[in-house]
Amino acid sequence: MTTTIDSGALQRMRARLRTALVGGALTAVANLPAAAATPALAAVTALAAASAFTAAPVAAQDQMTGVGSDPEHRLDMTWDRWLDHEEIGERMQLMARTWPNFLTLSSLGDSYGGRELWMMTIHNPDTGPAEEKAAMWIEANIHGNEIQGAEVSLYTIWYLMENYDRIANVKRMVDERVFYIVPTINPDGRDYFLHGAGSGARTGHVPVDSDGDGLFDEDPANDLNRNGVIEQIRKYVPGEGNYREDPRDPRLMVPVGPGETGDWILLGFEGIDDDGDGLVNEDPVGGYDPNRNWGSDWQPNYIQGGSMNYPFELPESRAINDFMMANPHIAGLQSYHNTGGMILRGPGAAWQGTYPRADIRVYDELGEQGERMLPYYNYYVIWRGLYTVHGGSIDWQNDGLGIVGFSNELWNGGQYFNSPLLQSQQADDDSPIAGQYGRLYFDDFLEFGDQYVEWAPFDHPQYGEVEMGGWKKTSGRVNPRFLSMELFHRNMAFTLWHADQMPLMQPAGTSVERVSGDVYRVRVAFRNDRLIPTITVRAQQNAVVRPDIVSVDGNVEIITAGWVENVHVDGPLDRIDQTELDRILVRSGHPGRTTRTIEYLVRGSGSMTVEYDAVKGGTVRQTVQLR
């Protein structure tokens, strides 16, 4: 027997079943008419149940605040490409247009090659003037071939803006601080590295006569086979060489032992004798070190190679220093370099001695926190953990400007194989990932051979028949692109934590006590909530930071003033021996994580405002009523 139901009834029953299922109440099914027992209605029931799989999310969406697993970005950007100077500028312009209330794009000036030194200022003007907040300086790429710090800098701008309304701590930092971010302070070297074959890109582009022949930059490396790579050159000389192919992997060359001979010699990197002096590649573009031209412990070339003729000779370092001198509220600094996985602080040379103990405690807490946030990174003093640097930027900014700064050396080769199992295999000489084999293995299987150029025959105009091959410019010092996001985020997070530990002066309470008549004892407490003091001991010793100023405004006569040594115990004050007590100079600054209370004995009436102005810790005010 076949039972039929008209289409209208079918639609009505389907709707009633969907309502029951979607609403989570099956009672509607129990209240259906007896006809529901018919085979046809059973089919409708099955159809309605199936429809619940599409209807259920509708109900669930009532409890959801967004669409998809994550909120959509306001500005979608990719982070798996290395950008040249023009693209960096375009991204910065786009971000400045997207978040105009917070971002201001400017140029510090031009590089020697005429490229803008782009700087992004991050500041919320609604929470106070920029000069009344501590500022964090973030720069990168002082060496042209050390590229990934520029992307970390761009990522930092983007992340702070995307998450301002999503993450409370991000909002707080943007509201409390100012950020000056310069993704590349050597745009000439960066573009030379990215647009060319990559050799000799560490330097800037001010011409230098590296070989002393009266000519400038006339003998750089040459990409003879025009494949975009400056390759190694080897020549086959059977029985007369000092190298042989590695029997495990012929791409590798190994030196022969004493008394042995090999079949190959190495002839350096790809190039020719451009100037006819018998030497190859000896006078490249530039030829100096931009990180040896700063004012602290600068040394001439015969002591520190690449330092140029005098400090701040280079247009890039001069422009940066001019800005920093004009903005003394810069209290923290990060200068991204590569490579090796290091968190570096000064001094750069042993003969500069050690930092004062109180300053070391600050640096140690920051650096040791960095080691926890950055796997494979070690916290070092520059001269002890890396090498001696005279005239480096970190030393100048600490000694000459009173800025607490680090230089992170981005990327550590240990991150190629970053599990205990793989690290134990690397220690096994027979493992396919031991030593140099590991780098080739990683390239073969994780980057599909993209980073290594196989040896290939070439007819060299000076050396005759040779073979050329080797690693591309983005291998070794630069992390694989697919590992960029973790590197960017972890280093940004450490730098933001450093920024969060810059001095932050806060009001910490007041009290007023009438002594007699119109004479009052007024106590005003101020607190530096963060680790870093408003003036480091080294800055105080060098007199490079303006003293903090405690000033009074109001219809009062200050009879005496002093610091309260213990607010919980009555005792003598540490009297302030200054003529003008309405403007007290605090030459030692305010220590980190400390509350200090100043006591005034005043005569007067009405309101009295006490202001604490720390050039690197911000300005705060408290007002009391004398009554």
Q: What does the DSSP assignment read for 72-116?
A: PPSS----SS---HHHHHHHHHHHHHHSTTTEEEEEEEE-TTS-E
Number of domains in the chain: 4
Rounded CA Rg of the chain: 33
Give phi and psi for 561, each to the nearest 5.
-155, 155
Q: What is the pLDDT of residue 71?
A: 87
126 and 23 housed in the same domain = no
346 and 223 housed in the same domain = no
pTM, whole model, 2 decimals? 0.89
603 and 510 housed in the same domain = yes
221 and 264 housed in the same domain = yes
470 and 544 housed in the same domain = no
Q: What is the pLDDT of residue 262?
A: 97
Please check whether residue 305 lies inside any domain of the structure: yes
Q: What is the pLDDT of residue 29?
A: 39
Q: What is the pLDDT of residue 68?
A: 63
What is the C-alpha separation between 525 and 589, in angstroms, rounded?
14
What is the C-alpha separation between 389 and 392, in angstroms, rounded?
6
Please check whether residue 533 lies inside any domain of the structure: yes
Q: What is the pLDDT of residue 63?
A: 56
Residue 222: strand, helix, or coil: coil
Q: What is the pLDDT of residue 223?
A: 97
Q: 354 and 541 in contact (C-beta within 8 Å)?
A: no
252 and 378 housed in the same domain = no
Please check whether residue 201 lies inside any domain of the structure: no
346 and 490 housed in the same domain = yes
Q: What is the pLDDT of residue 1?
A: 44
Q: 232 and 269 in contact (C-beta within 8 Å)?
A: yes
What is the C-alpha separation between 333 and 179, in angstroms, rounded?
10
Please check whether residue 102 lies inside any domain of the structure: yes
254 and 305 housed in the same domain = no
Q: What is the CATH number of the domain that holds 303?
A: 3.40.630.10
Q: What is the pLDDT of residue 64?
A: 55
HSE value, Cβ hemisphere, 13 Å, CA-based, for 623: 7
181 and 77 housed in the same domain = yes
Q: What is the pLDDT of residue 25?
A: 38
The DSSP output letter for 64 is: -
Residue type for position 252: L
Please check whether residue 420 lies inside any domain of the structure: no
Examine the fold and report which residue of 32, 61, 90 is the final residue of a domain before the chain moves on.
61
Q: What is the pLDDT of residue 69?
A: 78
Q: Cα–chain-centroid distance for residue 218?
A: 36
The pair of three-digit structure tokens given for residue 242, joined into one six-digit string: 């000092």
149 and 225 housed in the same domain = no
Please check whether residue 171 lies inside any domain of the structure: yes
Please check whether residue 2 lies inside any domain of the structure: no
513 and 489 housed in the same domain = no
What is the C-alpha separation between 344 and 363, in angstroms, rounded?
10
pLDDT < 50: residue spans in the chain: 1-7, 9-10, 13-56, 58-60
Which domain range does residue 31 map to? 7-61
373 and 392 housed in the same domain = yes
Please check whether residue 520 lies inside any domain of the structure: yes
Residues 20, 24, 27, 33, Cα dihedral to 10°: 10
Long-range contacts of the stretch 298-305 (C-beta < 8 A, 24+): 298/390, 298/391, 299/390, 299/391, 303/390, 304/389, 304/390, 304/391
CA-wise closest residue to 623 among 505, 545, 509:
509
